[in-house]
């Protein structure tokens, strides 16, 4: 079982990102859960969402304290919350950051496997709004290899419709191509 | 357990509840939004607006009015549904007795949530367990699949002529209501065939056959009505089991015997007794590190399957209940019910997960340890608490 924690700010779509992963898991023939941190949400405030993906039915119902993978939608969160709290040794962090921030990112995340992509630029290009969740799902796919790109395309078409879905599929594909391991 | 197939959708518990109501083709809905149940009201409103569900949605100004409206609608002989949580269920309290006293087969979903004060929107069982004596059947779910399946079954149970009692389908707020997971959506036609046409046999407002509903019942007859309610609740045991078996034949899923689900109990030295989604975490702990432990999941809290539980827990090294509520000044409700049926068995009592305090695997292990140490038999042990 893979346990994933997603950090974002209210409005960036952290909860939707978790939901897309859970829906995509089913498309790949896997079991899943997706849930928000059970609390009150405000636009701009730090938000946490979780997902579990497994080959078997998932029985455990507690929150996630020892994640395998972390997705960070907003690099500024690193100075507000401990984004690697409980992350397993050699755990994976996939972060949205422009290239000139990568040194700073690496410094803060030393000891982990770190992948970065400028998801904000991709979201602005493809969607016209800085909602980076789908781009970050694309980056995460490439870094984790947990799910297939086809499954995520399908999940996006389940979660969104029409032109919005296609724009988000393009954001996923671009981030999948552009994400890089930084070390 | 859900088998992954083309009929599976990844949905949250509130959606599973709304989807069940759509599949059953309920006629009248009245509900007032309250966290964490609000999305049920929204989904059902959407279904009706989109023409996916042909039902009357009565907009009301409170939960007291919501339950009153479904009582009135049910008395005209149609299928009804409502949903609530926490303070909303508490506000319904007086009308809950009327619904069961009139023997109306109302089905209500409750997304379990703690009661104020302090203000708390998160899960525990204090809302529904406090309604235990209102003569509603109470069924507790462990997964989103079970929410959908149980609401479908609830109509069969409630409308059965041996029962004619309202049913509360309880599921943990947030832990299920706001968590997405795979759920197999059964075929609409087959669900309608399973639940059948609702033909009211008892309480029905019909101008062709006038009857009085809800008159005075004085000291000469009130007690007889109450004893008949008791007998209906007793007969419900058989009906719940029967409907669980028939559901299994039709859709390939069942939940224990309908009242109690056993997990790894056969050779277990220790038994955990619990209700709701925490049972999933107990199963996880059994699978991962405690093969010597078994779980008794109480699905039906009313009628309480006490005799069956008493049989299962005989001759064990230790037995422990996990209550997600408390009866202040006494022992917790689940423990008390178990002990009433198994006075000779030493049963430990724990309280966990009040007001959304997460019940982690280590908390389940702690509860098992309470049984191993023989503690908690005359005073509950509070798990993961800082006072």
CATH code of the domain in which B273 resides: 3.40.50.920
The answer to whether the CB atoms of A59 and B284 lie below 8 A apart is: yes
Cα separation, B311 vs A105, whole angstroms: 60
The answer to whether the CB atoms of A32 and B182 lie below 8 A apart is: yes
- Final residue of a structural domain among B251, B273, B305: B251
Query: What length is written for chain A?
Result: 183
Cβ contacts below 8 Å, chain A against chain B, sum to 70
Task: State yes or no: pLDDT of A27 exceeds 90.
Answer: yes
The answer to whether the CB atoms of B182 and A26 lie below 8 A apart is: yes
User: Which pLDDT score, from 0 to 100, does residue A173 have?
Assistant: 98
Tell me the chain B residues in contact with residue A58 when contact means C-beta distances shorter than 8 Å: 181
Per-residue pLDDT, averaged over B134-154, amounts to 98
Among residues A85, A49, A65, A61, the alpha carbon closest in space to that of B352 is found at A61
If contacts are CB pairs under 8 Å, which of residues 250-289 in chain B contact chain A? 277-278, 280-281, 283-284, 287
The Cα of B123 is separated from the nearest Cα of chain A by a number of Å equal to 10
Largest CA distance in chain B: 66
**B123, B180, B356: which to substitute to probe chain A, counting the most A Cβ within 10 Å?**
B180
- Among A22, A36, A38, the residue with its CB nearest the CB of B10 is A22
The Cα of A76 is separated from the nearest Cα of chain B by a number of Å equal to 27
The answer to whether the CB atoms of B4 and A22 lie below 8 A apart is: no
Query: Are B22 and B142 in a shared domain?
Result: yes
Query: Are B277 and B232 in a shared domain?
Result: no
- Final residue of a structural domain among B199, B228, B251: B251
User: Which pLDDT score, from 0 to 100, does residue B240 have?
Assistant: 98
- In chain A, the domains with their CATH numbers are 2-182 (3.40.920.10)
Domains held by chain B: number: 2
Q: What is the pTM of this model?
A: 0.97
Q: With the CA atoms of A150, A152, A158 and A163 taken in that order, what torsion angle do they form, in degrees rounded to the nearest 10?
A: -80
Per-residue pLDDT, averaged over B192-196, amounts to 98
Confidence of residue A41 (pLDDT cuts 50, 70, 90): low
Confidence of residue A37 (pLDDT cuts 50, 70, 90): confident
Per-residue tokens: B149: 């399946």
Query: Are B204 and B336 in a shared domain?
Result: no
Confidence of residue B201 (pLDDT cuts 50, 70, 90): confident
Residue B348 belongs to some domain of the structure: yes
Indicate if the alpha-carbon torsion angle B313, B314, B315, B319 is positive or negative: positive
Range of the domain at B161: 8-251
User: Which pLDDT score, from 0 to 100, does residue A44 have?
Assistant: 78
Q: What is the CATH number of the domain that holds B157?
A: 3.40.50.970
Query: Are B285 and B223 in a shared domain?
Result: no
Query: Are B196 and B277 in a shared domain?
Result: no
Tell me the chain B residues in contact with residue A40 when contact means C-beta distances shorter than 8 Å: 121
Task: State yes or no: pLDDT of A40 exceeds 90.
Answer: no
Per-residue pLDDT, averaged over B256-263, amounts to 98
Task: State yes or no: pLDDT of B9 exceeds 90.
Answer: yes
Exposure string for B94-110, b = 16+ CB within 10 A, e = fewer: ebbeebbbbbbbbbbbb
User: Which pLDDT score, from 0 to 100, does residue B211 have?
Assistant: 86
- Among B10, B121, B361, the residue with its CB nearest the CB of A23 is B10
Query: Are B240 and B267 in a shared domain?
Result: no
Residue B1 belongs to some domain of the structure: no
Specify whether the CB–CB gap between B142 and B1 falls below 8 A.
no
């Amino acid at each position: 079982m893979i346990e994933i924690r997603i950090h974002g700010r209210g409005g960036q779509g952290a909860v939707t990102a978790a939901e897309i992963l859970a829906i995509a898991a089913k498309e790949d023939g896997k079991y899943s859960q997706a849930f928000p941190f059970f609390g009150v949400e405000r636009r701009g405030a730090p938000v946490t969402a979780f997902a579990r993906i497994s080959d078997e039915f998932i029985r455990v119902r507690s929150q996630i304290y020892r994640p395998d993978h972390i997705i960070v939608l907003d690099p500024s969160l690193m100075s507000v919350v401990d984004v690697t709290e409980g992350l397993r040794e050699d755990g994976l962090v996939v972060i949205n950051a422009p290239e000139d921030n990568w040194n700073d990112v690496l410094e803060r995340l030393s000891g982990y496997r770190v992948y970065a992509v400028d998801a904000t630029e991709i979201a602005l290009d493809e969607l016209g709004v800085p909602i980076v969740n789908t781009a970050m799902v694309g980056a995460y796919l490439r870094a984790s290899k947990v799910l297939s790109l086809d499954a995520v395309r399908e999940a996006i078409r389940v979660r969104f419709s029409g032109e919005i879905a296609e724009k988000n599929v393009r954001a996923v594909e671009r981030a999948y191509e552009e994400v890089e391991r930084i070390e | 357990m859900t088998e992954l197939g083309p009929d599976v959708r990844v949905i949250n518990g509130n959606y599973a509840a709304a989807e069940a109501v759509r599949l059953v083709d309920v006629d009248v809905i009245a509900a007032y939004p309250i966290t964490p149940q609000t999305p049920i009201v929204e989904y059902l409103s959407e279904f009706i607006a989109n023409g996916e569900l042909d039902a009357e949605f009565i907009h009301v100004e409170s939960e007291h009015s919501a339950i009153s409206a479904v009582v009135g609608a049910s008395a005209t002989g149609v299928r009804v549904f409502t949903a609530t949580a926490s303070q909303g269920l508490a506000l319904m309290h007086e009308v809950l007795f009327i619904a069961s006293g009139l023997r109306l087969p109302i089905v209500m979903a409750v997304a379990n949530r703690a009661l104020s004060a302090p203000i708390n929107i998160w899960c525990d069982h204090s809302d529904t367990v406090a309604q235990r004596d209102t003569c509603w059947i109470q069924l507790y779910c462990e997964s989103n699949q079970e929410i959908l399946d149980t609401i479908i079954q609830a109509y069969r149970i409630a409308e059965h002529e041996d029962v004619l009692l309202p049913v509360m389908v309880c599921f943990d707020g947030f832990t299920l209501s706001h968590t997405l997971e795979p759920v197999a959506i059964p075929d609409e036609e087959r669900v309608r065939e399973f639940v059948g046409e609702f033909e009211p046999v008892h309480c029905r407002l019909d101008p062709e056959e006038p009857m009085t509903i809800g008159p005075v019942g004085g000291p000469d007859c009130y007690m007889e009505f109450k004893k008949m309610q008791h007998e209906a609740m007793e007969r419900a045991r058989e009906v719940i089991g029967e409907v669980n078996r028939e559901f299994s034949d039709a859709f390939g899923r069942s939940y224990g015997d309908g009242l109690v689900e056993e997990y790894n109990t056969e050779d277990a030295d220790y038994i955990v007794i619990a209700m709701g989604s925490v049972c999933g975490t107990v199963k996880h702990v059994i699978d991962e590190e405690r093969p010597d432990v078994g779980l008794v999941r109480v699905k039906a809290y009313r009628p309480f399957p006490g005799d069956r539980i008493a049989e299962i827990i005989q001759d064990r090294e230790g037995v422990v209940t996990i209550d997600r509520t408390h009866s202040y000044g006494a022992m917790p409700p689940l423990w008390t019910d178990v002990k009433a049926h198994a006075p000779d068995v030493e049963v430990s009592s724990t309280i966990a997960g009040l007001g959304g305090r997460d019940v982690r695997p280590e908390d389940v292990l702690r509860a098992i340890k309470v049984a191993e140490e023989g503690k908690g038999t005359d005073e509950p042990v509070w798990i993961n608490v800082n006072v």
